[in-house]
Structure 1
Amino acid sequence: MIALTLAEISAAAGGTLHLDGAAATPETVVTGAVTTDSREIGAGDVFVAKRGEFDDGHRFAPSAVERGASVLIVEHVLDLPVPQIVVADSIDALGALATEVVRRVRELGRLRIVGVTGSNGKTTTKNLLRAVLEKVGPTVAARASYNNEVGAPVTMLELAEDTEFLVAEMGASGVGEIARLIRMARPDVGIVLKVGLAHAGEFGGIEKTVQAKSEMVTDLHPGDVAVLNADDPRVVPMAGLTKARVVWFGLGDTAEVRATELRAHARGTDFTVTVPGGEQARVHFGVLGEHHVMNALAAVAASVELGVPLADVVAALEQVTLAERWRMQLMGGRDGITVINDAYNASPDSMSAALKTLAQVQEPGSRTIAVLGEMSELGEFSGEEHDRIGLLAVRLGISQLVVVGQAARRLHISAINEGSWDGESAYVETADEAFELVTAGARPGDTILVKSSNSAGLRLLGDRLGEWFA
């Protein structure tokens, strides 16, 4: 975090500073990181005691102090010998502090902000942008999927006085949440990747999802840029909701930043990218899955708008071979067996894309195995979407389907009812059972995909299979 006095932090957070028993004054300067996780605290850091659904961060304040926290942001005074800023709501205070830090760094005149949202691809696109922009200047981007009301402001608070780029991943589970993050850090470039059924159950339907994602562009200014997916009919109307200049990306002719001559293979996708003005370049993109080309195009569009030469953008993209751990992560290798661990999260769109990639990279004469778990948070769409994935697996000719867990069982039943298989779909209750089934039946040259929502826990099964076949 930028250097602030205790008095400044208290004012920004809207709190009351308490110094009883602390060896500090209101003018004491704090430069440490800000976190809600006491396990991450280091000397001089700021601990925010967050109340959660199942726990209360105030319980971990003593541990934070033991680890070196220099100040606590709390909702009531604790009997601890460090400065404490008492606020009405610690999450609101965290957001308010982030807003002030962004404002101060903005005033220095160097910072430019890219906001990324969409039902799929946020983390991959954010990582691609970081890979490009950190070659240009000091860049801050979220760790993992730090994209909610806690993770996004924590990322913003990593800004330093010399930061040139902030890549803010902005997720939501309801209307108004992205707007809240935009008020903390309004982007110069706002990206909307795709609107799909991911989290549709939480949003209350696809219309609410569209409304929520639209918040990325509705508050942009005329001098800003909205980078929109020209191939998504739910994103296209957002052009009419923004004052910003629109730049389209996609695979079709209407896109200004577009990919053509795609060739997918087991180590990524090669394609030709065209940008506004007609400049082209061939890209050897090492992130597995043709669907990730759209994320790369969004990163290209934003980077070029920020003034990065296309050749430099392509060079940076070609150095990226993994979007993120547990996202189309290649593992294994023994006996030519490849494990694709893509079980960090799953929606109907990403599940379909992963299965299509599995079919695309299959070598002649080899087999494909899809180990699939639940797609969570789909609400009323859950049954029909699991049915659709089961049918897709059959129609793609996946050699073996292993469905894990009761919540995904309908996927297995749909595959059987399609009538194209005779025993090639198996259902098991647990990841351990899936491990035993796959390892017992695997053959040299097999390609194994592991895919589910995070809540299903199959990412650890993917790791286990990857180590087994290493």
Structure 2
Amino acid sequence: MIELGIHEIADATGGRVLGDTAARVTGPVVIDSRLVVAGALFVALPGEHADGHDFVAAAVAAGASVVLVSREVDAPAAVLVEDVQSALGALAREVLARLRAAGPLEVVGITGSVGKTTTKDLVGQVLAAEAPTVVPQGSFNNEIGLPLTVLESDASTRYLVLEMGASGIGHLTYLTGIAAPDVAVVLVVGSAHLGEFGGVEAIAQAKAELVAGVRPGGTAVLNADDLRVAAMASAAHGPVVTFGTVTGTDVRAQDVRIDRDGHASFTLVAGDATATVALRLVGEHHVTNALAAATVALQLGLSPEAVAARLSDARAVSPHRMQVTERADGVTIIDDSYNANPDSMRAALRALAVLAGRERRSIAVLGEMLELGDDSRERHDEVGRLAVRLNVKLTVVVGDGAWAIREGAMMEGSWGDEVAHVADVDAARTLLADELRPGDVVLVKASHGTGVWRLADELAGTGVDA
């Protein structure tokens, strides 16, 4: 965050100064009073379970120099606005404009039904080796997380990498209104949030808002392997660069190979240049994410050799995303439990099959995929059928919302002890305690709201707070 006076914050947000007119923000912008340090700006957001205004006193006691509020509070210095969330976005917009005016700063925006967070992490690791880079924590990709990430930038920042999520039409238009990207990446149009959007075509329309929101002169980076994404070229106002595995793309992966541990390697082809990439991430689906990251870096001037080397060194950063843990008892845990939709379920199950191979027993612990609307039963049924086709030895279905996975598995030919349906995470824990043995490979996957990620933490022994 750049240093700002209280009047500058009021001007940016359309707010009114209350209290100390000489107050200045010299620290970070935070929405959690427990994260306040001296000189911070505390943003009192109203929440579903708590109201930030109730924590203003704690924030001031911890050293917040200014608080951003929508009602008058007892604080030495405050900016009073009509809507705190909108004011947060407006402040981020102003700070980014100042930073862009002061020096070179490239903004990368990334969206897609799957792969956003992993691609963001890959781009961040590749660019951070080049120059100071700001990357969001976890999945800070909405109307709160994105401006908070923007506000982490300062005069030294050369690259700002932003993950942009959407669960409805207009969401990405709002986010690009805060931070129009110089490079916009669209990965995949899939069935995440299908119930909220009402159909895949509506999802494609929403994702295309990122392309339309590119900064003048900016570049759209599109996945040519996804026809709906490739069609977004018509929404671009500037250059379009494609990536994928099909012939004719600008940046291509060829000779893709998967080793016994599930790691993909491929030849990166960009024009006449080639370089070898050997990923440390688990799962063939990460080839798409790596290609997207490579294309971004190449657009920003990095060499193919540097890009390939840095992608090969990159590791999983955000928790609960294809994190593999080898336990002392010989059990392997694949934790992909941060979220789930039909596309990511298929990718994770295929990775499980590769890691287990023919020698080890594969176990899939699967919870509900939320926000699928009327398609929920059919989509869960398809997951169960795929588990059988991939020869998963035991499928543990967690919760009533996921019961159609069991139904699909049984209709595909899974009987007896090959599929079990349990009521909740506690029941799954009990079953696995009796069932697991050395050599097992266990995938844990479900939507975040199911709480199945807590079981993944216990099984892996990580205790990561999601």
Classify the TM-score, shorter chain.
Answer: over 0.9
1:136 and 1:402 map into 2 onto residues whose CA distance is: 44
Residues 165-204 of structure 1 correspond to what in structure 2 (within 5 A)? 165-204=159-198
Query: 1:89 aligns to what?
Result: 83
Report whether the alignment pairs 1:424 with 2:418.
Answer: yes
1:204 alignment partner AA:
G
The yes-or-no answer on 1:450 pairing with 2:448 is no
Q: How does 1:236-247 map to 2 (within 5 A)?
A: 236-247=230-241
Question: How far 1:77 sits from its partner (Å)?
Answer: 0.9
1:434-453 Cα shifts (integer Å, max 9, x gaps): 12212312232111100111
Residue 313 (structure 2) aligns with: 319
Alpha-carbon offset, residue 221 of structure 1: 4.9
Q: Residue 9 of structure 1 aligns to which amino acid in structure 2?
A: I
How far, CA to CA, are the matches of 1:172 and 1:83 in structure 2? Answer: 35
The answer (yes or no) to whether the contact 2:57–2:74 under 8 Å persists in 1 is: no
Alignment of 1:320-339 (within 5 A): 320-339=314-333
* In 1, Cα distance between equivalents of 2:16 and 2:145: 24
Contact 1:222 1:245 in 2 (8 A): no
Q: Amino acid of the residue matched to residue 44 of structure 1?
A: G
Report what 1:13 is aligned to: 13
- Partner Cα distance (1:47, 1:279) in 2: 49
Give SS of 1:127's match: helix
Displacement of 1:414 in angstroms is 1.5
Aligned structure 1 segments of 4 or more residues deviating by more than 4 angstroms = none
Q: Where does the alignment leave 5 or more consecutive residues of structure 2 unmatched?
A: none
Among candidates 26, 29, 44, match of residue 31 of structure 1: 26
Distance 1:202 1:40 in 2: 33
Using the TM superposition, give the Cα deviation of residue 335 of structure 1 relative to its aligned residue in structure 2, in angstroms: 4.1
Assess if the C-alpha contact under 8 Å between 2:266 and 2:278 holds in 1: yes
Give 1:52 deviation, angstroms.
Answer: 2.4
Q: Is the CA contact 1:332–1:467 (under 8 Å) kept in the aligned structure 2?
A: no
- In the aligned structure 2, how far is the partner of 1:29 from the partner of 1:79? 18
> Displacement of 1:454 after TM fit?
0.4
Counterpart AA for 1:72: V
Cα distance between partner residues in 2 of 1:101 and 1:361: 46
Aligned partners of 2:216, 2:52: CA distance in 1, in Å? 41
Range moving further from structure 2, 93-102 or 357-366: 357-366
2:70 match: 75
Question: How far 1:222 moved relative to its partner?
Answer: 5.7
Q: Deviations over 1:212-241 (max 9, x none)?
A: 110111132562111001011211110011
Give the alignment partner of residue 282 of structure 1, picking from 268, 273, 276: 276
**Hey, what's the Cα distance between the residues in 2 that align with 1:142 and 1:249?**
24
* SS, match of residue 256 in structure 2: strand
1:467 to 437, 461, 465: 461
Q: Indicate whether 1:125 and 2:130 are aligned.
A: no
**C-alpha distance in 1, partners of 2:440/2:428?**
16
Q: Name the CA distance, whole Å, in 2 between partners of 1:401 and 1:170.
A: 33
CA apart distance, 1:336: 2.9
Aligned to 2:4: 4
- Report if the CA contact (8 A) 1:287-1:323 is conserved: no
Amino acid at match of 2:21: T
What's the counterpart of residue 65 of structure 1?
Answer: 60
How many angstroms does 1:205 deviate by? Answer: 2.4
- Once residues 109 and 430 of structure 1 are traced to their aligned partners in structure 2, the CA distance between those partners, rounded to angstroms, is 53
The residue that corresponds to 1:268 in the other structure is 263
Q: CA deviation at 1:321?
A: 2.5
Q: What percentage of aligned pairs have identical amino acids?
A: 47
Equivalent pair of 1:264/1:361 in contact (CA under 8 Å): no
Distance in 2, Cα, partners of 1:364 & 1:404: 26
1:463, CA displacement in angstroms?
A: 1.6
**Counterparts in 2 of 1:367-386, with a 5 A limit?**
367-386=361-380
Q: Which amino acid aligns with 1:131?
A: Q
Deviation at 1:323, TM superposition (A): 4.4
